Structure 1
Amino acid sequence: MNSVVKKIKTARVNLVNFTTRYIPLENHITVAHVYHSLKDRYFESRDFKAFIDEQLPDPKHCDLQQIDLSNPFLYRNGLWKDVFQRLRKEAPVHYQPNSPFGAFWSVTRYEDVMFVDKHHQLFSSEPVILLGEPPQGLELEMFIAMDPPKHDVQRKAVQGVFVPKNLQEMESLIRTRTIDVLDHLPVNQAFDFVDRVSIELTSRMLATLLDFPYEQRRKLVYWSDLASSTPGTTGGAMTLQETFTGLKEMVKAMSALWHDKAAKIKAGETPTFDLMSMLIRSEATQDLIHRPLEFIGNLALLMVAGNDTTRNSMSGGVYAMHLYPQQFEKLKQDQLLLPNAISEIIRWQTPLAYMRRVATQDVMLNGQYIRKGDKVVMWYASANRDESVFERADDFIIDRDNVKKHLSFGFGIHRCMGSRLAEMQLTILWEELLKRFDRIEVLEPPELVQSNFVRGYSKMMVKLHPHVQPS
């Protein structure tokens, strides 16, 4: 981002922060909604322009310049593996000058992705970690898209939730809820695993982490989807109306929750141990409510982090075991393989495909000259399939000996702080599935989300086959 654009953005954020002391943030969102509605009506707008699923060029034979990894249908149409394989072989640092999201470099080999992720001084996370820019008026700020020292201060405010002692205390609750969900599933009949299991378990965990009203927990998943599904940022399918209506509802609910918790803490009530309370109690973030774009941005980040990785690895693990039934049999015969199997599920699925960076100076990377200010995209989904690191990388192998090297959680200062919680949720789910079911049959190819960022499932019809009880 050049200095002029950065100054304009900073001035806009400062103006919003100042005026929201007197005008509710939802009113600002209403103004932004009107602005984008008019822009959509009278001008060519990229922010909410729907993407069309057109036939894509054959990734094995097309010209390299035709390859555009930003296309939100690559994953859904099953072309992503061939595209990544070709780029790793022929153009591991690949330049696409004409994508709908602007020009960007794609980094697809494991070692190169590691280099970019480790060198945050050379490759900045600011201003966003998605391929596209946020819609004007919705420039949410979040610590994953910040550089030190601000990143470190804000991350520290909430990372205490995920220390081993607290995870150990969460284990019983996670297991109780998992048992409750699984014991109410139909057997020997079709149902949607995404809705009945993956989303349900994720929403219950999110409600706990944020101390959000339990009966309204599904809203958290929906708001998470909003944050990562606008066309102009990830090529998603969220409409203008859905985005702004949902965001206004989220702002109103989360602001009310903050004020309620802050009042109780001020009155001397013992604070609950959740992410919202930790933000309120931290000296660095106790005034976050007066920085509304940062407040909503960080809450949206925590929702996405608690939703997409776990939810889509839950569904992805079931699908992987269906596609590779011999691996499921291997797991049933030796459940000591489960920790390794969980890591393999996360590697094989790679729920978030990439993170974006911006070069802070001119730099050479694998023979390519990247200029200061260029977008650089680390494709974790490709690094996790790098044949030079993972043997038979496209296969699902639960006893893979080096699976812990996967990059699904990132690396370096931005590594996912909730990784251990995600692994715990997945482990408990599979422990309980293995107790109950001999086979989980996927009845038809799952429906995949439209996105260049989230590698997720919107629907997966399954049938559960319980263990046969001895007569």
Structure 2
Amino acid sequence: MDTSTSRIIESSEYSEELGQLPIERINVAQAELFQAGIASRYFERLRKEAPVHYCADSMFGPYWSITKHEDIEAVELDTATYSSELANGGVTIASHPNEPDFLPAFISMDPPRHTQQRRVIAPAFSPERMEVLAGPIRAWSIEILEGLPIGEPFDWVDRVSIELTARTLALLLGFPQERSRDLIRWSEAMVAMVGTEAFPTIADKLRVMKECFDAFDDIWEERRRSPADADLISMLATQPATRNMPRSELHGNILLLIVGGNDTTRNSITGSVVAFDRFPSELKKLRNDLALIGNLTPEILRWQTPALHMRRTATCDTVLKGQRIAKGDKVVLWYLSGNRDEDVFERADQFMIDRPNARRHLALGVGIHRCVGARLADLQIRTLWEEILKRFPRIEVLQEPERTRSTFIHGYPALKVSIAERYRDRS
């Protein structure tokens, strides 16, 4: 690791140090930078000076950083040149086919297998299915918000973001609602970096993952015998393309569905509270024009960017923006940087509820790997805020948000807030 950028230091020191670093020595793939909330400064310099940038030395080995919006799109859409296949490396900067905590799933497959498996679960996210899910999601949003304390601090992540996400994810998977919090615990284990206090060794992480897979092995066998109505496990267990998949692929797809269903929505819900607290004029704008709520999800996904990156591996020697990328090279698509690209998004660091091109965000990917659950994420975020706007004049963030220590998840472990008052006689 480049020790010149690996310390947690004050923001002003980071700025001075970054300005003095030769461009070839920049290594943005450091969890400390994202935890401190300053990685965007590194991306800004890379976009200006080296939008296709090679880092020769990092804890993840050598890698290319792709930081401009148009280049990220180009790589995502060229699935022949840039592979997602786990056998070639997978979809994160850390993934490796020989590591036991990385398993095959349709997100880490190339066509045609990717297409076949994605097609199986796509009906679970159809407009018709969203109409069915809308009722429970609204009922849960109301119940959760009505139970919040007034005039005293509480953790928004635990009381709201996790609670709504866990219930929705359990419904989607056909998992027992009374155990829905297990899904969040398992998701956190799956994306955790080994060497942290929670997971000192890989064995600690694998122990929790096994608990998850054992639980879903039982559900899998039950659904094979007696499929339920429309849950994702029933779909996978009954369709020809997936019902006989190897157990490692089943576990990989379970991992994908849990992490995808948890982290994207959970951190976007929390990020929306941070955004409106930081930019109160945007909340006022929304209250004056409730039709703008249709733009809330795309803009919060752009501004928050819950998944920091996706990774591809070059299948052949190629050239991108004049840079020669060799077959087998690791190519990292930094979604957070693309969503801050000044050539696409005016005043990109600002949250703007009426941003006209917010839907050009890259937070859910593009092309064949665009997040299959995009409609569900929108339904949860939009419904929750429709109910918030009926109840609370303001949600105040009481201290600087705690950020996740990760190079993959851009989120908040906790967010201390308070609600001073509730609207009276509103429904």
Structure 2 distance, partners of 1:98, 1:440, is 43
Are positions 1:326 and 2:287 aligned together? no
Structure 1 distance, partners of 2:266, 2:340, is 21
Partner of 1:383: 338
Partner of 2:151: 188
Structure 1 distance, partners of 2:47, 2:205, is 36
Structure 2 distance, partners of 1:430, 1:449, is 24
Structure 2 distance, partners of 1:339, 1:132, is 35
What does 1:257-272 align with in structure 2 at a 5 Å threshold? Answer: 257-265=219-227, 271-272=228-229
Partner of 1:252: 214
1:220 alignment partner, one of 166, 179, 183 = 183
Gaps of 5+ in 2: none
Structure 1 distance, partners of 2:326, 2:180, is 44
SS at match of 2:32: coil
Closer/same/farther in 2, CA of residues 468 and 172 from structure 1, 3 Å limit: closer
Deviation per CA, 1:71-90, whole angstroms, max 9, x where unpaired?
Answer: 01111112111111100000
Q: Give the residue type in structure 2 aligned to 1:284.
A: A
SS at match of 1:95: strand
SS at match of 2:33: coil
Structure 2 distance, partners of 1:100, 1:309, is 25
Deviation per CA, 1:382-413, whole angstroms, max 9, x where unpaired?
Answer: 00000000000001111111111111110001
Shift of 1:231: 3.4
Shift of 1:468: 4.7
Structure 2 distance, partners of 1:137, 1:229, is 14
Q: Give the residue type in structure 2 aligned to 1:353.
A: L
Q: Is the 8 A contact 2:317 2:324 kept in 1?
A: yes
Partner of 1:355: 310
1:116 alignment partner, one of 49, 53, 75 = 75
Deviation per CA, 1:72-128, whole angstroms, max 9, x where unpaired?
Answer: 111111211111110000010010011100110000001111100111111000221
Partner of 2:234: 277
Counting matched residue pairs gives 412
Shift of 1:62: 1.8
Partner of 1:162: 125
Closer/same/farther in 2, CA of residues 103 and 298 from structure 1, 3 Å limit: same
Shift of 1:136: 3.1
SS at match of 1:466: coil
Larger radius of gyration: 1
Q: With structure 1 as the length reference, what TM-score do the two structures score?
A: 0.84
Partner of 1:204: 167
What does 1:266-415 align with in structure 2 at a 5 Å threshold? Answer: 271-288=228-245, 291-415=246-370
What does 1:4-83 align with in structure 2 at a 5 Å threshold? Answer: 54-55=8-9, 58-83=17-42
Q: Is the 8 A contact 1:230 1:236 kept in 2?
A: no
Shift of 1:343: 1.3
Q: Give the residue type in structure 1 aligned to 2:252.
A: G
Shift of 1:466: 3.0
Shift of 1:236: 9.9
Question: Considering only aligned residues, what root-mean-square deviation do their CA atoms show, in Å?
Answer: 1.9
Closer/same/farther in 2, CA of residues 81 and 299 from structure 1, 3 Å limit: same
Closer/same/farther in 2, CA of residues 60 and 278 from structure 1, 3 Å limit: same
SS at match of 1:378: strand
Q: Is the 8 A contact 1:237 1:450 kept in 2?
A: no
SS at match of 1:121: coil
2:200 alignment partner, one of 239, 245, 256 = 239
Q: Is the 8 A contact 1:60 1:83 kept in 2?
A: no
Q: Give the residue type in structure 2 aligned to 1:255.
A: D
Structure 2 distance, partners of 1:375, 1:137, is 20
Partner of 2:387: 432
SS at match of 1:458: coil
Shift of 1:138: 3.6
Q: Is the 8 A contact 1:229 1:236 kept in 2?
A: no
Deviation per CA, 1:154-180, whole angstroms, max 9, x where unpaired?
Answer: 111111100110111110111011111
Structure 1 distance, partners of 2:330, 2:264, is 24
Q: With structure 2 as the length reference, what TM-score do the two structures score?
A: 0.93
Deviation per CA, 1:192-217, whole angstroms, max 9, x where unpaired?
Answer: 00000001111001100111111111
Q: Is the 8 A contact 2:117 2:242 kept in 1?
A: yes
Q: Is the 8 A contact 2:391 2:423 kept in 1?
A: no
